[in-house]
Amino acid sequence: MAETATALPTRRDFLFIATGAVGAVGVAAAVWPFINQMNPDASALALASTEVDISALQPGDTLTVKWRGKPVVVRNRTEAEIDAARNVPLTDLKDPVARNANLQLDAPATDANRAAPGKENWFVMVNVCTHLGCIPLGQQGEFGGWFCPCHGSHYDTAGRIRGGPAPENMAVPVYSFLSDTKIKIG
């Protein structure tokens, strides 16, 4: 049987492989800044979510925090506020949709669908009027919730539009409880 001769790598083969490897690394180094610039910067990542300490809020207290450039209300509702919101028939609501980012888009605007399950006293909402983007005043208006003095929109204690020109309920952002005293918004 005849033996087949295998060619040993030459210096030229090594130079071809080394040149190709250096060229590939050079192309990757040149392209990386273009790929990396598509990632969000630190300021955008910082706005993506925020943690809120709610340990100091007593029933009836409200805390406003900034999230994604908007005011977000965290309210420790009283039993009377929860009862008032629960006892509203859906037929009395101007907007029948919950507008809660934690639920399906077509969830009905019941009080249970606007608050966190098991923590109904804690209410989290983007405090921006859905009419023209004004900032409503808390615990005012005909329904004891929020009132926008700019154009007269009245919201109840669950942030649902009940009177005035605003077309929709105020939005409930994505949020979760990290503990009994801390909420993560976003």
pTM: 0.71
Q: How many residues does the chain have?
A: 186
Tokens representing 95 are 């907007």
Q: How far is CA 107 from CA 1, 73, 90, 156, 162, in A?
A: 81, 21, 12, 18, 18
Report the pLDDT averaged over residues 65-72.
Answer: 90
Residues 137, 141, 143, 145: what is their CA dihedral angle, to the nearest 10 degrees? 10
> CB atoms < 10 A from the CB of 153, how many?
25
Query: Closest Cα partner for 139 from 66, 54, 57, 61?
Result: 61
**Most confidently predicted of 34-38, 44-48, 78-82:** 78-82
Q: How far is CA 21 from CA 10, 14, 32, 152, in A?
A: 17, 11, 16, 69
Tokens representing 115 are 């608050």
- Does residue 11 register a pLDDT over 90? no
- Does residue 43 register a pLDDT over 80? no
Residue from 59, 151, 179, 181 carrying the catalytic annotation: 151
* Sign of the alpha-carbon torsion through 147, 93, 99, 186: positive
Known catalytic membership, residue 151: yes
- Beta-bridged to residue 182, according to DSSP, are 53, 179
pLDDT digits (tens, 9 = 90+) for 82-141: 999 999 999 999 999 999 988 999 999 999 999 988 898 999 999 999 988 889 998 888
